[in-house]
Amino acid sequence: MHRAWPAPTLAAWLLLTTAALAGCTAGPSTDGGPSPPASGGSPTPAINGSSGPAVELLAGFPVIPGAAPEGLLPTDDPGLIARWSSEQVGPVVYDFYVDALPAAGYPTTGLYPGGAVAVIVLQTPSGARWELALTQGDGGGTRIELRSAQP
């Protein structure tokens, strides 16, 4: 059983949002993005809906069942890899990724549960660092953003 998220307060939400945004600011990628999957695998198309070249999620990257892509990604945020939403509440989504990422070959190197914001830092099979940011979405669901982690 994973730690449940406490009920958010305005002060906690502001603090966590500020910390998450400070740690997730976009910047140039130094690792060139994800590497091709191991032999025999094929990349999973990026779920960002972008019309331009997109970073592709590697085959087997876990996406919580029922998640829906959230439109086009902004072109001025190069660190953003994918964005989707789930009707599941934050603690359910957080617990899913805490279990699913390591099982899929993406070890977690940082777990930061929170009220309105939670962050999971993970490592790709190529050694790149990514961050999965979970925030409260409209209507009680969860917004999920995958981005390149800052050094």
Higher pLDDT, 7 or 76: 76
Examine residue 64 and state whether it is found in any structural domain, yes or no: yes
Mean pLDDT of the chain: 72
What value does the mean pLDDT take over residues 70-87?
Answer: 89
Q: pTM higher than 0.85 for the full model? A: no
Examine residue 34 and state whether it is found in any structural domain, yes or no: no
Examine residue 45 and state whether it is found in any structural domain, yes or no: yes
Examine residue 74 and state whether it is found in any structural domain, yes or no: yes
Task: Quote the CA–CA distance of 76 and 110 in Å, as a whole number.
Answer: 26
Examine residue 114 and state whether it is found in any structural domain, yes or no: yes
Examine residue 30 and state whether it is found in any structural domain, yes or no: no
pLDDT(29) > 70: no
Which pLDDT score is estimated for 2? 52
How many secondary structure helices (H) and strands (E) does the chain include? 2, 6
Contacts of 67 (CB under 8 A, 6+ apart): 47, 84, 85, 86, 144
Number of domains in the chain: 1
Task: Quote the CA–CA distance of 142 and 67 in Å, as a whole number.
Answer: 9
Give per-residue burial for 38-64: e unless 16+ CB within 10 Å, then b: eeeeebeebbbebeeebbbbbeebbbb
What value does the mean pLDDT take over residues 8-17?
Answer: 36
Examine residue 83 and state whether it is found in any structural domain, yes or no: yes
Provide the domain limits for residue 89.
10-24+40-148
pLDDT digits (tens, 9 = 90+) for 55-77: 456 778 999 999 998 878 888 99
Which pLDDT score is estimated for 88? 95
Which pLDDT score is estimated for 111? 97
Q: How many other β-carbons are positioned within 10 Å of the β-carbon of residue 144?
A: 26
Examine residue 3 and state whether it is found in any structural domain, yes or no: no
pLDDT(38) > 60: no
pLDDT(107) > 90: yes
Which pLDDT score is estimated for 37? 34
Higher pLDDT, 19 or 100: 100
Q: How far is CA 117 from the centre of its chain?
A: 12
